Amino acid sequence: MKQAPRLQMLGISKIYPSVVANAGVDLTVMPGEIHAVLGENGAGKSTLMKIIYGVTKPDDGQVIWEGRQVHINSPHDARKLGIGMVFQHFAVFETLTVAENIALALDEKVTPAELAPRIRAVSEQYGLPLDPQRLVHSMSVGERQRVEIVRCLLQSPRLLIMDEPTSVLTPDAVLKLFESLRRLASEGVSILYISHKLDEIQSLCDKATVLRGGRVSGTANPKQESARSLAELMIGRELPVCVNTPRAPGEVMLSIEGLTVDSDDPFGTRLKDINLSLRGGEIVGIAGISGNGQQELLKAISGERPLRAGASAGRIRLGTLDVGALDAARRRQLGLGFVPEERLGRGAAPELSLADNALLTGYLPAASTGMVKNGLIQRGAVRDFARRVIARFNVKCGGEGSAASSLSGGNLQKFIVGREIALAPRVMVFAQPTWGVDVGAAMLIRQAILDMRDQGVAVLVLSEELDELFMLSDRIAVLADGRLSRAVAAAGTSINQIGVWMSGDFDYQGADHVQA
């Protein structure tokens, strides 16, 4: 007998005051099927998933679950049906432990202590190790992603929705997750999978539905498509390419000497004798598995945590000026730009408009944006600046007055990156610059980073995507267990060598190794 669909979405529409999120969308998911939903940032993917999970109510259309029409009015209703969802933006309380967060998210009454052994077992079974007693605020973005995935798996769903689940997972963790997802599918679990990583879609998914502008523009079998053809289905045009022309670097703009920092987090990583020089007109990439000292290094460089006697040692210089004791605002005034990995909360204030979010970092004198004169905010200049960023980076939103929280994750990332680039820093630090961004927008951001380099800016990129680092970097170093390897020429090393270094074996040298 022919199997009945597990889920059918018929004519689903959702319209907001400034945007049509979904318009007459049809989607069918079969039992045991891994079904991709593809589209650019703002194409309506996340809205459609939130409708399935009961977070958002559709304006029109029907939801058919296992042959009967249902009205999913809340996530509780969705979970009762057997639907689980891993969100792109994490729904966790930072001051609680992993076990406490997961206990709050489950419908069953269970104490964190009772839940802890199940968390350990499931996280180990699926290759996503977690300490149930760890406080969430001490975890990296990649580790918080594990909390969301394990929470969902503990509910034994019949339909599992995954919105960018691997955006900050390591390659090894991704492979283990895929093994688990294939096993779940073989047991009859349906999986809706959203990702901008097209190689993942090709490897994992049985079918793909493509959204463009809130409408279904087509379907495809990912295994019969190339990454380029899938990308062009998504964006409706030829895929842009990055142009990386090597150039001779200039003088040292950022130098780190003997940096040793005790983490202020009991679960953090101590930085040990970090040494790095970054020249104007070059990009240095730092690879590493999440949780190996990235947060501590970023806080030290950005000034979020100035160096303190007794808790840290070493020097950080911008040009010839020692800035180790200066806070983040003073370092920005001296020409340091910074894009953090966490968009909402650190990169942007969720409830503020895009214009006001531009003002948060754009008021500083070194930026010379005209946003503040004689201590008074120039609202016209603030709005003009935000509009220029929106236009240059093709940010899909309702205008500069839109709240940051109203944007899709990828569009907010484009705005944050564009804002920092438009402030014309002398030294620029990016953490996960294209996390959750569609392939077309990722190329736009990467080309903008390369253009900064070509204009003489010193650029530091921390990313867990090795392909991205090799695409952008002049030199690459690896952070492992709080230690930083020497930086080597990207053209003279390999993904294999960098992968070995990520395990902490800095002595390994491949046959193609070239010292920078």
d(CA 375, CA 423): 19
- Is the domain of 331 the same as that of 429? yes
Q: What are 207's strand-pairing partners?
A: 35
The range of the structural domain enclosing residue 105 comes to 97-154
For residue 402, the model assigns a pLDDT of 93
For residue 169, the model assigns a pLDDT of 66
Q: What are 428's strand-pairing partners?
A: 337, 459
- The dihedrals phi and psi of 369, each to the nearest 5 degrees, come to -95, -15
- Is the domain of 310 the same as that of 389? no
409-422 helix and 354-362 helix, angle to the nearest 10 degrees: 40
Rg over CA atoms, the chain: 23
Q: Is 3 exposed, middle or buried (0-12, 13-18, 19+ CB in 10 A)?
A: exposed
> Hey, how many other C-beta atoms are within 10 angstroms of the C-beta on 214?
23
Sorted by sequence, the CB contacts under 8 Å of residue 401 that are 6+ apart come out as: 353, 354, 355
- Is the domain of 437 the same as that of 496? yes
For residue 198, the model assigns a pLDDT of 86
* Domain assignment present for 169: yes
- Is the domain of 65 the same as that of 178? yes
Phi-psi region of 42 (alpha: psi -120 to 50; beta: other; left: phi over 0): left
Assess contact for 395 and 404: CB atoms under 8 A.
no
- Is the domain of 380 the same as that of 326? no
* Domain assignment present for 25: yes
pLDDT in tens, 265-321: 777 899 999 999 999 999 999 999 878 899 999 999 999 999 987 778 999 999 999
* Domain assignment present for 240: no
- Is the domain of 376 the same as that of 506? no
pLDDT in tens, 225-267: 888 888 888 877 777 778 888 889 999 999 999 999 998 877 7
d(CA 158, CA 118): 19
- Is the domain of 410 the same as that of 480? no
Domain final residue pick, 407, 424, 441: 424
> How far is the first Cα of the chain from the last one, in angstroms, to the nearest whole number?
64
Sign of CA dihedral 443, 278, 347, 263: positive
Identity (one letter) of the amino acid at 245? T
Among 272, 237, 239, 240, which Cα is nearest to 256's?
272
- Is the domain of 127 the same as that of 268? no
Domain final residue pick, 393, 424, 455: 424
pLDDT tens series, the chain, 516 aa: 568 899 999 999 999 887 889 999 999 999 999 999 998 888 899 899 999 999 999 999 999 999 999 999 999 999 999 999 987 667 788 889 999 999 998 888 889 999 999 999 988 887 778 899 999 888 876 788 788 888 888 988 999 999 888 766 666 777 878 888 898 899 899 999 998 888 889 999 999 999 998 999 989 999 998 888 888 888 777 777 788 888 899 999 999 999 999 988 777 899 999 999 999 999 999 999 878 899 999 999 999 999 987 778 999 999 999 999 999 999 999 999 999 988 888 899 999 999 999 998 887 765 667 898 888 899 999 999 999 999 999 898 889 999 999 888 888 999 999 999 999 999 999 999 988 788 888 888 999 999 999 999 999 999 988 889 999 999 999 999 999 999 999 998 988 889 889 888 888 765 444 333
Domain tally, the chain = 4
- Is the domain of 36 the same as that of 122? no
For residue 514, the model assigns a pLDDT of 39
